Amino acid sequence: MTDSRSPVPAPRSPINVLIVDDSASVRMHLRNILESDPDIRIIGAVGDGEEAVRFVENRKPDVITMDIDMPKMNGLEAIRRIMETHPLPIIVVSATFDKNDVERTFIAMDAGAIAVSNKPLGEGHRDSERAARDLVQTVKAMSEVKMVKRWSRARISGMTHIIEPEEPLVQASGKVKLVVIGASTGGPPVIKTILSGLTNGLHVPLLVVQHIAKGFLEGMVEWLNHTTDLPVHIAMHKERLMPGHVYFAPDDYHMGVNNAGRIELSKALPENALRPSVSYLFRSTINAFDGDSVGVLLTGMGKDGAEELRHMKEKGATTIAQDEESSVVFGMPGEAVRLGAATHILPPEKIAAVIRSLTKES
């Protein structure tokens, strides 16, 4: 007689987290939030970057939550040292009401942090539950990311010379009128690299959907305006698109474009559980410009935009997926590659070169 019962699944290993913050009360608050989830275990809580670096040398957490402004060694230096020696998923936990914190957040992402989360405020604040829930979800998602040595990210963020395509490029359906980009986890420093490579080489509008924690988009746009020469904006409804300008979808709005060259913002239902959605932007681009566009899918978890990138390619657009080596997470671009949606599979600096080449006559 055989036993028809299903095998009992092996218990899941807990996600081991190191908390780094100079405030003892914040460390305790974060511990209480994270340990409310049975899958998360706090294995350390330290008060400055030096302690964090020493901790990682002796024990390897699965995820680190990192404050930025700390004594002895700040979070930026700690991130750089950890990523050079013991690369781990690092989440910057920052206060969106502090303008300096937000700007330093993106410098930290350039240094190797892969995600950002709001610093949860105390109980009773109207956003405390949402921020706590988002932090738990971010820690669990980032625990799945497999990190590599910092050298590849240094190559991405440190690109200063101009790279040209290895062969002449021709847009299949004609003149390029628009470039659209979708990105998620690990996207901000990659977008910075691409925009830096487009200085004096972008002659059409460029629209971006970047999945990022609520409240950080304005700081990201300000950071990009300081670190690149292109004018970067948060998109407004019915705004006319301008050549050489970069437009980001605002928090909690889908962004599309119409055939009159104006931005359309929408509160339509989330797609792929996301609003803004890359899929929405890419589909809108097909409807408005047919194949006279370039579509780019960058590092990120999930598959948002991959199917629509394939549709763009079928319409004659040039389509690009970031390569696996330079991606923090090869989810979105990897799905595009699996679907045969990408005309080119490239690192960020070569993505910029292709966009320059295809838009220079536009």
97-116 pLDDT, tens digit each: 677 778 889 999 999 999 99
d(CA 165, CA 352): 9
Do 15-147 and 156-359 agree at the fold level? yes
Is 162's pLDDT higher than 60? no
One of 29, 211, 254, 311 is an active-site residue; which one?
A: 211
Q: Which residues of 337-362 are buried (b: 16+ CB within 10 A; e: fewer)?
A: bebebbbbbbbbbbbbbbbbbbbeeb
- The residue behind tokens 């408005």 is 288
Peptide linkage before 276 cis (omega within 30 of 0): yes
One of 21, 62, 292, 304 is an active-site residue; which one?
A: 304
Task: Find the helix or strand (DSSP H, E) in which 311 lies.
Answer: helix 306-314
Q: Active site includes 211?
A: yes
Q: Active site includes 226?
A: no
3-class secondary structure, 246: strand
DSSP assignment of 107-174, as one string? Answer: HHHHHT--EEEE----TTSTTHHHHHHHHHHHHHHHTT-----THHHHHHHT--S----SS----TTS
In this predicted structure, what is the pLDDT of residue 5?
A: 57
In this predicted structure, what is the pLDDT of residue 167?
A: 53
What angle is formed at CA 142 by the lines to CA 158 and CA 183, rounded to 5 degrees? 55
What is the pTM (predicted TM-score) of this model? 0.89
Structure confidence by residue, pLDDT tens digits, 205-247: 999 999 999 889 999 999 999 999 999 999 999 999 999 999 9
One of 184, 277, 284, 327 is an active-site residue; which one?
A: 184
In this predicted structure, what is the pLDDT of residue 102?
A: 80
Of the CATH numbers 3.40.50.300, 3.90.1150.10, 3.40.50.180, 3.30.559.30, which one belongs to the domain with range 156-359? 3.40.50.180
Task: Give Cα separations from 323 to 23, 95, 156, 320, 331 (angstroms).
Answer: 39, 32, 12, 9, 11
Sequence ranges of the domains in the chain: 15-147, 156-359
In this predicted structure, what is the pLDDT of residue 170?
A: 55
Domain 15-147 belongs in CATH node 3.40.50.720:
no
Q: Active site includes 184?
A: yes
Structure confidence by residue, pLDDT tens digits, 330-340: 999 999 999 99
Tell me how far apart the terminal alpha carbons of the chain are, to the nearest angstrom.
Answer: 74
Is 144's pLDDT higher than 50? yes
Is 30's pLDDT higher than 60? yes
Nearest CA to 237 out of 214, 220, 254, 218 is that of 254
Structure confidence by residue, pLDDT tens digits, 111-136: 999 999 988 877 666 677 888 999 99
Nearest CA to 40 out of 177, 172, 140, 158 is that of 140
244: left (phi over 0), alpha (psi -120 to 50) or beta: left
Task: Give Cα separations from 43 to 14, 29, 90, 128 (angstroms).
Answer: 10, 15, 15, 24
Range with the lowest mean pLDDT among 17-26, 100-109, 196-205, 276-285? 100-109
Task: Find the helix or strand (DSSP H, E) in which 19 lies.
Answer: strand 15-20
Taking the CB of residue 9, how many other CB atoms lie within 10 A of it?
6
